[in-house]
Every structure is written in C-alpha cells, then in structure tokens.
Structure 1
Amino acid sequence: MTVQQTINHPGAVIVDGIARLPDDKGNLVALANIKPMDLLMDEMVRKVVAYGEDLSAELARFAAHTDADIAALDALIAQDYGVEPKETKGNRTFTSFDGLLQVKVAVSERIVLGPELQAAKTVLDSLIRERGTGVDPFLMTLIQRAFKVDQEGKVDVRSILALRRMQVDDPRWPDFCRAIDDSVRVVGSKRYIRIYRRPNPQANWSMVPLDLAAVEPTPAAFERRSLRRQVEETEQLNTRLADLLDRALMHLSLEGGNTEVARDLIASSLRLLGIPERIQAGSQGEG
C-alpha cells in the first residue's frame, strides 16, 4: 500500500492512488465518499486552527520577549541606583515619554485555603445554631454563598475572605477570622501584561486587547499587516535579493561578464533594501 501526501484537501493522503481523509475512528475514507459539506467544514477548521496555532505561538514569543525587555530595564534601573537587580513580583507601570503609551505588569496570587477552613466552618456553624433566626439575613446569604462548593468541590475563596470584613457582635467571630487567616496558602502567582494607549495626555486609557473575546474587527486591524504577511514578504524579499546578487556575481566572475549589468543588479538589490540612491552613489564612487 502506497501512502503519500496530497494537495487535493488539507490533511488528506493518497492511498493506492485514491485521496482519503482519516475519520474520528482512524479509518481512511475516500474523499469521494465524504459529504461536500463535511469536506468544507474540515477544510475551514484546519485553516482556522493553523492560523490560531501560529497566533498562539506568536503570543508566546511576545510574552517571552516582553518579559526579557522588562527584566533588562529593571536591571538598568537597579544599576543606575547601585543596587543588585532582583526579581520584582509587584505590580508596575511603564509609560512612554509622550504619555500616550503604557505597559502594566500585574501579578495575581493563586490562593488556596488549608485545613483551618474546616475549623472556621465549625465556629460559624456553632454561631448560627445558637443564634437561630437572630442571624442577620444579609450575613446568612453571604455565608451560604461563600461556602457553596462548585462542581469541582471547591469553595469561593474570594467570598470567604470577604467575610472577614464583616462586623459581627459575637465573641467567637475573631476566632473565625483568625482561622480563615491561618488557612490562606499562596501556592503560586500569575503575571499579566496589559498594554494601553490614548490619543492625547488628557484622554482616558484604552487597553489594547490581546484575547479573542475582546478583539474587534476594526478597519485599522485589517490595514495593519499581519505577522504572517510580514514573514511572507520578508521571505519573498530574501528570495528576490538572492536572485539579483547571484546574477550580479555571475557577471562579475565570468570572463567577459557585463560589469554594467552587474552594477544595475546590485543597485536594484540596494533599492529593495530601501537604501537611498545618494548613499548608493557614494558607495559606488568609493569603490
């Protein structure tokens, strides 16, 4: 059985001269036996996923480069003040000189509640049983919401921590708050990079969206060249430059080669690179 890639349909292969596409059970189904709408859907999904994976990788590179740039600036600032650079975990804001661009670094800690939470719940249950209907209905609602478990069996950490700010006239309430405080465990943190811009220093900041849910297909977005397009244009430019320079070298190296043609080819390559003609003329004159 001969298997080779085919360009008839993305993801399809040629098996014994027939274009086939694997189904969800691993069977190779001939394209002729697949509904046209299913083929269109498959092609659309593969196209979107391919672009999405490229974009995800680009975002990962962007995050890594941004972290490196911020770390380099932190090191320079530390050096300027004669101190040892340290990893900064707090929130920070960097603003451009004209006050129109801003980069914010926000750190969010991941908190879990330890076994002390059960002791806090026991104190709370005792308080509620003894007070009965005397418990403030609003407080009771907050308690029920805070200790309600989700589908994963976890409680709402933020709601439980918010209970500590409540003022309850009961001698057991401080014990409840202390048990909550002792239960807090910081098990990690996540850093967020947010980008803002504004048209003038008096205007409000607008965040540059980096998630699909917040991105809007504005005309400006389509006018901006995509990263993939920039890469394609760079590759085309490199191919064109290589061709021009190869032809120029051929004329210069061969006996009887046309140096004037070689000069024109080199000038064309310099124009592709965006080098002004006056600089070209100066360089050629020096040669």
Structure 2
Amino acid sequence: MEGYMENAQGHQVPLAQVQEIDKARHELVMEKVAKAKAMRKALAELKAEIMDDVGAFIQLSAEKYEVKVGGNKGNVSLLSFDGRYKIVRQVAENITFDERLQAAKALIDECLRDWTKDARSEIQAIIDQAFQVDKEGNLSTSRVLGLRRLNITDERWLRAMQAIGDSIQVTGTKPYVRVYERRDNGSYTAIPLDMAAV
C-alpha cells in the first residue's frame, strides 16, 4: 500500500511514523537479499550446467568404446590436463529402512541378552546407540549400516544383518558437484561456493 510500510507483525505503518534509520536498514537488507537471491539462482544454473556437461562428457567418453551409459548415477572425477583442477560429481542416495529393521533389532537384542549375561550394561548401550533416533525421529543410516561391518558369526546376528540389508529402501538421490584446486603440497582443496567459507 502506497505511503505505508508493512512491519514484522503484518501491520501497515504510515511512512511518516517509520524512523529514517528503520527505512535505511530495510532498504539495505532488501538490496542485499535481492543480490543473494540472484547469486543463488546463478549457482543453481551453474550446478545444472556442470551436471549436464559432465554427464555429456561421460557419454562422449563411453562412445569411444561403443558403449552407452545411462543416467547420471555414479561418482566421477574429471581432472584438468595439468592436474591443477578437479571436478567431482557425486550422487548420494537417500536411504531409509522399512519394517524389517524391527526384526533385525529384535534379533540383535536376543544376541545381546545372551552375550551380555555377565557383562556390563555399557555393551548393550553401544549397540542401542545405533538405533537411536534424532529430533525428527530418523535413524542414523551410517550407524545402522556400520553394524554390518562387524565380523560376528552368530547365526542370529547374520540373520539380523540380512534383515537390515533387506530393509534398505532408496527413497531418492541428491546430486552434488564440487570443484577443487590442487595446493602446492599436492592435496586438493575445494573452491568454496558458500559465503561463510569465502
């Protein structure tokens, strides 16, 4: 509404009642937010361009061997000829577990009851930690999957690990692209595209 400014509560305040410092602060914030939004849009466009071009390059490279590769799955690193720069495309899968995870937990609990009869309760707590949920009620995928790396041969444990494997559901993927520059010591460091890291 002309002649008014909306405040944080949604009320229309006549311009004459808004202090000059508040007007100046509002203008500064709005100007910088517009620039940040434009930069976010440019970064999204750059990401899409890099993902498309890397995918096209992979296809071009595969055609040399008369093979067709499908989709944009899989991680790949492309290096400049001099090795100074590297582009890394990663596709992370979002993983959840279905109801079979409960069967795995029951089998693990059964194992622990037998194994820890005369042991300290802290051992049970270590395994239970893998099944703790965060504030949103989500399990730590890496903790649960980490149990599968343990070299335990008890038949119940092996069935539990099979149940964990069977319960894995891929609910989507998220593509990432990172650009790296080689340091003098030979290690690569990411070129930061996050304002806080610049």
Task: Please classify the TM superposition score into its range, dividing by the shorter chain length.
Answer: 0.7 to 0.9
Paired residues for 1:138-287 under 5 Å? 139-168=123-152, 170-198=154-182, 203-215=186-198
Selected match of 1:54 from 38, 50, 56:
38
Q: Measure how far apart 1:108 and its partner are.
A: 1.2
Structure-1 separation of matches of 2:58 and 2:123: 46
For the residue of structure 2 that corresponds to 1:164, the secondary structure is: helix
Between 1 and 2, higher relative CO (CA 8 Å, sep ≥ 6) is seen in 2
Q: Measure how far apart 1:69 and its partner are.
A: 1.5
Structure-1 separation of matches of 2:104 and 2:183: 51
Structure-2 separation of matches of 1:186 and 1:50: 37
Match of 2:58 in 1: 74
Match of 1:96 in 2: 80
RMSD, aligned CA: 2.3
- Relative to structure 1, is the Cα distance of residues 166 and 60 closer, same or farther in structure 2, using a 3 angstrom cutoff? same
Match of 1:41 in 2: 25
Code of the aligned partner of 2:194: D
Bigger Cα displacement from structure 2, 121-130 vs 188-197: 121-130
2:1 is the counterpart of 1:24: no
Q: Measure how far apart 1:106 and its partner are.
A: 1.4
Task: Give a deviation string over 1:78-100, Cα, whole Å, max 9, x none.
Answer: 33222234224111111111111
Task: Give a deviation string over 1:154-177, Cα, whole Å, max 9, x none.
Answer: 211110111122234644211211
Structure-2 separation of matches of 1:164 and 1:139: 17
For the residue of structure 2 that corresponds to 1:83, the secondary structure is: coil
Task: Give a deviation string over 1:196-238, Cα, whole Å, max 9, x none.
Answer: 11256x63212101223322xxxxxxxxxxxxxxxxxxxxxxx
| Structure number, greater radius of gyration | 1
Q: Measure how far apart 1:116 and its partner are.
A: 0.4
Match of 1:118 in 2: 102
For the residue of structure 2 that corresponds to 1:153, the secondary structure is: coil
For the residue of structure 1 that corresponds to 2:96, the secondary structure is: strand
Structure-2 separation of matches of 1:203 and 1:210: 21
- Relative to structure 1, is the Cα distance of residues 95 and 131 closer, same or farther in structure 2, using a 3 angstrom cutoff? closer
- Relative to structure 1, is the Cα distance of residues 135 and 34 closer, same or farther in structure 2, using a 3 angstrom cutoff? farther
Q: Measure how far apart 1:56 and its partner are.
A: 0.7
Code of the aligned partner of 1:113: F
Q: Contact between 1:128 and 1:135, CA under 8 Å: does it hold in 2?
A: no
Extract unaligned runs of 5+ from structure 2: none
For the residue of structure 2 that corresponds to 1:172, the secondary structure is: helix
Structure-2 separation of matches of 1:130 and 1:75: 54
Structure-1 separation of matches of 2:102 and 2:67: 45
Structure-2 separation of matches of 1:40 and 1:129: 67
Match of 1:250 in 2: none
